[in-house]
Amino acid sequence: MGSPMNVIVGSHVWVEDPEEAWIDGEVLRIDGQEVEIQTTKEKMIVASLSNIYPKDVEAPAGGVDDMTKLSYLHEPGVLQNLSTRYRLNKIYTYTGNALIAINPFQSLPDLYDTHVMEQYKGMPLGELSPHIFAIADIAYRQMVNEGKSNSILVSGESGAGKTETTKMLMRYMAYVGGHKGTEGRTVEQQVLESNPVLEAFGNAKTVRNNNSSRFGKFVEIQFDKYGRISGAAIRTYLLERSRVCQISDLERNYHCFYLLCAAPPEEIEKYKLENASMFHYLNQSHCYELDGVSDADDYLATRRAMDVVGISHQEQDAIFRVVAAVLHLGNVEFAKGEEIDSSVLKDERSKFHLQTTSELLMCDPVALEDALLKRVMITPEEVIKRSLDPVAAAVSRDGLAKTIYSRLFDWLVDKINVSIGQDPNSKTLIGLLDIYGFESFITNSFEQFCINFTNEKLQQQFNQHVFKMEQEEYMKEEIAWSYIEFVDNQDVLDLIEKKPGGIIALLDEACMFPKSTHETFSEKLYQTFKSHKRFIKPKLSRTDFTIAHYAGEVQYQSEQFLDKNKGYVVAEHQDLLSASKCSFVSGLFPPVLEESIKSSSKSSKFASIGSHFKLQLQQLMDTLNSTEPHYIRCVKPNNFLKPAIFENGNIIQQLRCGGVLEAIRISCSGYPTHKTFSEFINRFGLLAPEVLAGNFDEIDVCRKLLEKMGLTGFQMGKTKVFLRAGQMAELDTKRSEKLNNAANVIQRESRTYITRQKYIALQKATICIQSILRGNLGRQVYINRKMEAAALRIQANLRRFFVRMRHNKLKFSAVVLQKVFRNKRHTKASIYIQAHWRGHKAYSYHKKLKGAAIIAQCGWRAKIARIELHRLKMAARETGALKAAKDRLEKRVEELTLCLQLEKRLRVDLEEEKGQEIAKLQDSLQALQSQVGETNPLVLEECEVAQREMGGALSVVKASPVLIEDTGKIETLTEEVENLKALLHLEKKRADESERKLVEALETSEERRKRLEETERRVLQLQESLNRMIHCMSDQVSELKMILSASSNSSSTSGFIARDDRLDALSASSDTTSTDSDFTFPAPASTPANFPSLHRNTFQLIVQDLSAAEASGAENWESDREGAFDDFF
């Protein structure tokens, strides 16, 4: 679609993006064929030069209404233009004569009212903004003016808005050419009112669309010689019959089934219906209702539409009887019969639904059951009835349901055509084709194959039309175009429809053989098309096949191709329904005459859905080729079915499937860029201004300009310049370079001028500022001197103020210090007492904590000792280990004894130190008491002396005036007396406290003495336990020695017996020695009251504590122990 472009640093380009399909950015660096681009989202991308496309930075902000006007006609440019217009609610855009319509998913009533129709009536294409009314009007005007039939092809995927677009086209046709009625109803009214009927019976909810047409529709609107609608006809193609019996989750069956289940109560009772979830053909999906849609209201609307199109109430009743019969038929289930490969009705529920089906179809229930369960085989000799197994019976049931429904749909189409009426005298018509778009799902069956075959046909016709339009443009401009190559998709069409070797022909051939399966059909395809470039055999499947369509590769599953291609009706079903008592049902299945059967057998060996569809499609293509086609490509902007969401990847895929990008490719193969001479000169005249000087011939100017740029292959038309793909980008690149160079020169001169002007202005401003600053400086000196004098005056006052403040503060501090020093003695004494008391308290807490730590260590070491003793017990069973263990235990006992004695000596020393401390405390207490005793008489004497002096002073005061010095002495004496009293009181408190501490020390000493006695007693018990253990071990060692000596002497059997007896006795004695283990020490008889927290194994813990103390230094002993216990471990 494009050619490698010439880019420079700073060029704006489009580059592929996995999230947004295409993203724009600016070229930062070019390294050979690789380009580094910074996107508008601040992302750095490195891309190949051949994979980027130029961006038109001068494109209109609102986009262009015709994409052939784009300067760069490529995929990202088309996508950007559509996105820009969609954001402005401009949902229509031209691509030449084709119209792209993006579904807005919201109501835009102002876009389709009568005023808008009046605006577009008679206006040439392109005069107004793009609109479906413009396409409809140009088709109508061409038909009226030229007398040639026209057609409008509306295509797109499910949910793109094809049905609504077709409705709007018919509304416009009715507006410009209506008002000829039949039986009080206009033709256009009947055509429009036929849509609800066809939608009810031919539309269904899919994953992508809530109202998806499951058939193709071609509406022929016939006109008389005055341009008025005189008749109409509707042609339908390929109804999806398999949907009647099989639907996927999140989808629905045809709308009519749900409308009937939501009918008024009397209708439901009449047809013996239930909730939709109770029917097998409907409950395969869990979707029964549509958001915002009332099935009950739609049922009544469908009834009214049937009245408009001329379907009588009796016929309406018969139609819904058939629909109800299909629902009941789907609930008939089968079970295995008594005979081999036979089946019967499964239960009473199945019998009820079978009976209801026969009543609704007015046929014999027994005959209906036989038609479902049996097959008649006619041979030259006799007629044979063959039973069907349950699977084959279910297939027969589904085949009957699909046949009944397809015949009903065909009858509705024929009835609508008869009711509307056709004009046999009409010479011209406008056809509206509402056809399904290209489909590619996870599972693609026969329906998708036929749909994509149709789109291939239409795409070929579209490509030819686009190529024709290009040729007409070239011929109009009188340029050479004969060398433009056109590549179509004829090879894909030959692959599908060619006789005798096409896929459809091979499928028909496989259907004619009873033993053919989808495996044999697939194998035949693989052999026939193994070298075809459009046919691909998947690697991971043995029955699938892939076709490379114009819109991409599609993998088809061939499992149901043969069943869905069989278009004949089973003879039993035909005979059953032909004999129905209901004229409507029997009319759906008219009897087949033997003569017609014979003639048909001679003319065609087999009638298939594929061949019939191929024939219909060829007739459609013939009709389209006989008309002047116009194209509307409907696009779904997102899969959420919500407005204002534009998914780039989704749009690009639809443009590919709709052939829009293929049309652009065709345009790019010729001259994709068309510019009028004036536009071209205005845009690129600056590249060679010397060419414009004195030359007023636009064609000559454009030719010289292009030649000067070194371009070849362009064409000069009568009014336009035609450029090859990539030439516009090359011209834009050179234009950008020249503009950049000119901009650089302009910027350089502008900066020079601006800088000089700034310098002159700065010089003038500097002189002015200097003069102002000098004046300000003189004034500032004067102000500073004045402020200095004021500051000196203020400083003097402040210093005086601060001195006074310091004096007052010092005076206040002296008063406070006097108070503090007066209480200093009292505070010092109390601090001394508190210090001693806190020290005593901390020392007591330290001793308690140390004792608790020793107990915890003893407990942990005892636990380790038990483990070690258990290991020793196991090791003692070996002779060498027992001897070594005995020696080590003896050494350990001696060491424990030494440690115990050392502990005793330490405890005795500790007691002596405590006694000395207590004696010191007692001596200090006695000294304090003696001081207090000595102080008391002195205090009393001083008090008496003070009283006498005070008495004498009072007498002197009475006799003579008092001197100031005597009064001071009196006050001093009084204070000393008070101080002495306070000291006396403190000494008494200290004495009391010392006595209390002495009592506590005595109690603590007594408690420790008791604990020491208890420890000595337990040590004695430990010694006794060790002695018993050593004795037991020595006995066992001796016995083991005897056993070993006896094993060497095997001559005496009695010796063995004696030794065995002794061993038994020894083991019995050892068992009586200890209950749990030979190495478990007996617990003491009782626990002292002053050790309530110790448990019965306290002595074992103490032993382990003492033994573990030497474990760190006995590395040799550890190695010996490990060697002795190797056999045990």
Tell me how far apart the alpha carbons of residues 81 and 62 are, in angstroms, rounded to a whole number. 8
277 as an active site residue: the answer is no
Tell me how far apart the alpha carbons of residues 215 and 166 are, in angstroms, rounded to a whole number. 14
Tell me how far apart the alpha carbons of residues 1092 and 163 are, in angstroms, rounded to a whole number. 98
* 257 CB-near residues (< 8 Å, 6+ apart): 276, 279, 281, 282, 323, 326, 327
Of residues 632, 637, 639, the one with CA closest to residue 167: 632
Catalytic one of 81, 163, 203, 565: 163
**Token representation of residue 78:** 């088309």
**Token representation of residue 582:** 């209901």
The pair phi, psi for residue 340, each rounded to 5°, is: -70, 135
Tell me how far apart the alpha carbons of residues 134 and 139 are, in angstroms, rounded to a whole number. 9
662 as an active site residue: the answer is no
Q: Are 180 and 186 in contact (CB under 8 A)?
A: yes
What is the DSSP secondary structure assignment for residue 810, as one 8-state letter? H
Catalytic one of 95, 165, 209, 445: 209
**Token representation of residue 1006:** 């007594």
Tell me how far apart the alpha carbons of residues 1054 and 740 are, in angstroms, rounded to a whole number. 124
Q: Are 71 and 60 in contact (CB under 8 A)?
A: no
List, in sequence order, every residue forming a beta bridge with 92; answer none if it has no partner. 101
Q: Are 161 and 101 in contact (CB under 8 A)?
A: yes
**Token representation of residue 1129:** 């471990």
Region class of 63: left (phi > 0), else alpha (psi between -120 and 50), else beta: left
Bridge pairing between strands 53-54 and 12-17: antiparallel
**Token representation of residue 539:** 């690697």
Catalytic one of 212, 302, 565, 1107: 212
Q: How many residues appear in the chain?
A: 1129
Tell me how far apart the alpha carbons of residues 66 and 54 are, in angstroms, rounded to a whole number. 19
Tell me how far apart the alpha carbons of residues 411 and 235 are, in angstroms, rounded to a whole number. 12
Q: Are 817 and 809 in contact (CB under 8 A)?
A: no
Any idea what the Cα angle at residue 1097 is, between residues 1095 and 1101, rounded to 5°?
110
209 as an active site residue: the answer is yes
Q: Are 149 and 431 in contact (CB under 8 A)?
A: yes
**Which 3 state secondary structure label does DSSP give 809?**
helix
Bridge pairing between strands 673-676 and 720-723: antiparallel
- How far lies 264's CA from each of 23, 204, 295, 327, 709, in Å? 55, 22, 11, 17, 78
Catalytic one of 177, 202, 437, 717: 437
**Token representation of residue 330:** 């789907």
Region class of 710: left (phi > 0), else alpha (psi between -120 and 50), else beta: left
Tokens 């149709």 found at: 454
Catalytic one of 63, 156, 159, 610: 159
Kindly provide the b/e burial profile for residues 975-993, where b requires at least 16 CB atoms within 10 angstroms of the residue's own CB: eeeeeeeebeebbeebbee
36 as an active site residue: the answer is no
439 as an active site residue: the answer is yes
The DSSP element (H or E) to which 973 belongs, if any, is helix 964-1048
Q: Are 651 and 82 in contact (CB under 8 A)?
A: yes
Q: How many CB atoms lie within 10 A of CB 294?
A: 13
Catalytic one of 220, 369, 439, 628: 439
Tell me how far apart the alpha carbons of residues 496 and 614 are, in angstroms, rounded to a whole number. 10
Written in H, E and C, the secondary structure of 825-836 is HHHHHHHHHHHH
330 as an active site residue: the answer is no
Tokens 């007739």 found at: 619
List, in sequence order, every residue forming a beta bridge with 721; answer none if it has no partner. 675, 716
* 783 CB-near residues (< 8 Å, 6+ apart): none
159 Cα distance to chain centroid: 25
**Token representation of residue 332:** 């008939």
Q: Are 163 and 432 in contact (CB under 8 A)?
A: no
158 as an active site residue: the answer is yes
Catalytic positions are: 158-159, 163, 209, 212-213, 437, 439
